[in-house]
Amino acid sequence: KFEEVVETGGRWSKPHVASLSLHSLLELRNCILSGCVILDMQADQFSTIVG
């Protein structure tokens, strides 16, 4: 998603595109392919996840 801010004088800034490294994307793919991934779990302790 593009993020822009209004600069002084009412101009829009250049869009900022957040990016991930190729290594991070490959690591994510390996985790998804090799195990259980729960992306929307609201837990702050490991015991909550395994319990």
Q: Which domain holds residue 33?
A: 2-50
Q: What is the pLDDT of residue 16?
A: 66
For residues 36 and 50, the answer to whether their CB atoms sit within 8 Å is no
Residue 31: band (very low, low, confident or very high) from pLDDT cuts 50, 70, 90: confident
Residue 21: band (very low, low, confident or very high) from pLDDT cuts 50, 70, 90: confident
Q: How far apart are CA 35 and CA 5, in angstroms?
A: 39
The pLDDT of 40-47, averaged and rounded, is 88
Residue 50: band (very low, low, confident or very high) from pLDDT cuts 50, 70, 90: confident
Structure tokens at 43: 């837990």
Q: What is the pLDDT of residue 10?
A: 74
Number of domains in the chain: 1
The pLDDT of 29-44, averaged and rounded, is 86
Q: How many CA atoms lie within 13 A of 41 on its CB side?
A: 13
For residues 20 and 29, the answer to whether their CB atoms sit within 8 Å is no
